[in-house]
Amino acid sequence: MYARPDALLCPTPWEQLTDPQGRPYFLWDVDMSLEAFVKGLSDPDPAVRAYLLGKLMRQAKPDDVFHFVSLDTLRAEWDAVQPYLGNRRAFWTWLLDAWAQVDRGEI
């Protein structure tokens, strides 16, 4: 039996995610603090959550995505997030499908 794939990740250490002003490296194109970003991922508006999660999945190192959301959350938000993934959509489709195969015991 394989370990859950999300348990085998190597994320960036939390203290290295931000620049000296507190902005996460993956938000290079907006002026938003890590605190504001994390708060936005819990916004009551599903469109806000989908946009920020898509930005995270598009611009962060894949392992770093799991600092902020679980695999179950990604699966639950998948339909809303897909339009924001750009050219990273194929990668995330492949990854989530592969992990689903592991969960089903197919690999």
Under a CB-based contact definition with an 8 Å cutoff, are residues 100 and 92 in contact?
no
Q: Whose CA is closest to 85, among 106, 63, 107, 62?
A: 62
pLDDT of residue 3: 46
CA dist 106 and 51 (Å) reads 32
Spatial neighbors of 7 by CB under 8 A, at least 6 apart, are none
CA dist 12 and 1 (Å) reads 27
pLDDT of residue 5: 53
Q: What is the pLDDT of residues 23-36, one digit of tens each?
A: 999 999 999 999 99
Mean pLDDT score of the chain: 89
Higher-confidence position of 2 and 6? 6
Higher-confidence position of 40 and 3? 40
CA dist 36 and 40 (Å) reads 6
How confident is the model over 57-76, as a mean pLDDT?
93
